[in-house]
Amino acid sequence: MALSNEDTFVSEIRRFVREHCPEQDSELGIGDDAAVLPWAPNTKLVLSVDDHCEGVHFRHRWCPPESIGRRAAGSALSDLAAMGAKARGAMLSLHCPKSLSSDLLRGVIKGFTESLGQHSAVLYGGNLTQSSTLNLSVSVFGELTRAQAWTRSAARSGDDLWVSGILGRSNLAFRSLDKQSRDNANNHNEAFLEVQKRYLNPTPRFDLVDSVIPDTAACMDISDGLARDAGRMARASGQCFVIHREAIVSDSVRSLAERLSLDPHDVVYQSGEEYELLFAIPAEHRKSLESLGLIRIGEVQALPQGGHYLVDDLGRNIEESLGFDHFQKS
């Protein structure tokens, strides 16, 4: 039987771990953006792994080598930021075809190490192997000095929902880059240049790690789209997330979506690889969070019996399937 979706398979993995592995000494294990282990006095070790695969996360025809490396590093590091941790290091397993040019690989590693260095992280080693396509498997680790990690399961009724930046830009960048490469044209280039640059050079939100955001915040990074990831966080917390439709679409995203004849709300709900952070934080912190430039997009309510985990402010269910899932049937 084929895999139906990611979340179901992750639940199966969790079951095998309980049955076959020793009792865990981790503070957080499978189910969050990263694992958290006791480490040193007042410090915890945070670990995560991510993959960046040709044909899934990038296409050579529109993603330059250095951007492949930057995006691979940025996506992995973002998981550390989502836990409230600072990056310290990485290991890289590089799978590449024999036919791939050495100049292309140098560009990939240059972009990868540049991204690490920008966030005070070091490449400590890894592995190199032959493959039919170019794939980067990235393990990252960081340190947590907060009293506790930000987790997906910490949202409570009455919390505000916040995002760390404008959503939808990654979806628009991917679509415009793909269209340009297929059409062999630059007709979208000027209008879409800013979102494309951001997409090809992501910046994990480590700037928020030392901010006034409280230790009790619920958080995860938005890698599979707001609909999918907000739904995951609501389920982990056992709450209902209410999304304010007009709060999630910026004027710039609306304008670019219309250029591509797309519904701007669907663009935001579907937009993966954002690497912005989704927070649920008690309303008493609202003023200080606004000063950080965060965008308030909704609130957390108690989950009604038999109710939906994710709805808009008109009470309509938001389909979590709008987001990305590696195993979802199209």
Please report the pLDDT score of residue 177 as a whole number: 92
Q: Could you tell me if 17 and 139 lie in one domain?
A: yes
| More reliable by pLDDT, 206 or 6 | 206
Please report the pLDDT score of residue 327 as a whole number: 45
The answer to whether position 8 is within a domain reads no
Please report the pLDDT score of residue 217 as a whole number: 94
Please report the pLDDT score of residue 38 as a whole number: 76
**Final residue of a domain: which of 144, 171, 191?**
144
Q: Could you tell me if 125 and 214 lie in one domain?
A: no
Structural tokens at position 192 = 């879409």
Structural tokens at position 37 = 């282990």
Give the amino acid at 250.
S
Residue 24 φ/ψ, nearest 5 degrees = -75, 140
CATH number of the domain to which 291 belongs: 3.90.650.10
**Final residue of a domain: which of 144, 177, 210?**
144
Q: How far apart are CA 188 and CA 172, in angstroms?
A: 11
pLDDT, tens digit (0-9, with 9 covering 90-100), for 30-79: 666 677 877 778 899 999 999 999 988 899 999 999 999 999 999 999 99
Whole-prediction pTM value? Answer: 0.87
Q: Could you tell me if 222 and 119 lie in one domain?
A: no
pLDDT category of residue 207 using cuts at 50, 70 and 90: very high
324 near 227, Cβ under 8 Å?
Answer: no
How many structural domains compose the chain?
2
Structural tokens at position 223 = 């890698």
Q: CB neighbours of 182 closer than 8 A, spacing ≥ 6?
A: none
Q: Could you tell me if 174 and 308 lie in one domain?
A: yes
Structural tokens at position 243 = 């999304």
Beta strand 277-282 pairing with 218-221:
antiparallel
Instruction: Inform me whether the pLDDT recorded for 154 exceeds 60.
Output: yes
Q: How far apart are CA 286 and CA 281, in angstroms?
A: 8
Please report the pLDDT score of residue 15 as a whole number: 74
The answer to whether position 7 is within a domain reads no
Within 10 A of 172 (CB to CB), how many other CB atoms are there?
28
Q: Edge-to-edge strand order for the sheet containing 35-40?
A: 35-40, 43-53, 135-144, 86-96, 122-130
Q: How far apart are CA 307 and CA 207, in angstroms?
A: 36
Within 10 A of 191 (CB to CB), how many other CB atoms are there?
16
**Owning domain of residue 195:** 159-322
**Final residue of a domain: which of 120, 144, 168?**
144
Q: Could you tell me if 124 and 168 lie in one domain?
A: no
pLDDT, tens digit (0-9, with 9 covering 90-100), for 232-246: 999 999 999 999 999
Alpha helices in 31-86 (DSSP H): 65-81
Q: Could you tell me if 112 and 216 lie in one domain?
A: no
Q: CB neighbours of 295 closer than 8 A, spacing ≥ 6?
A: 162, 163, 164, 165, 166, 247
pLDDT category of residue 81 using cuts at 50, 70 and 90: very high
H or E stretch at 135: strand 135-144
Q: Could you tell me if 315 and 187 lie in one domain?
A: yes
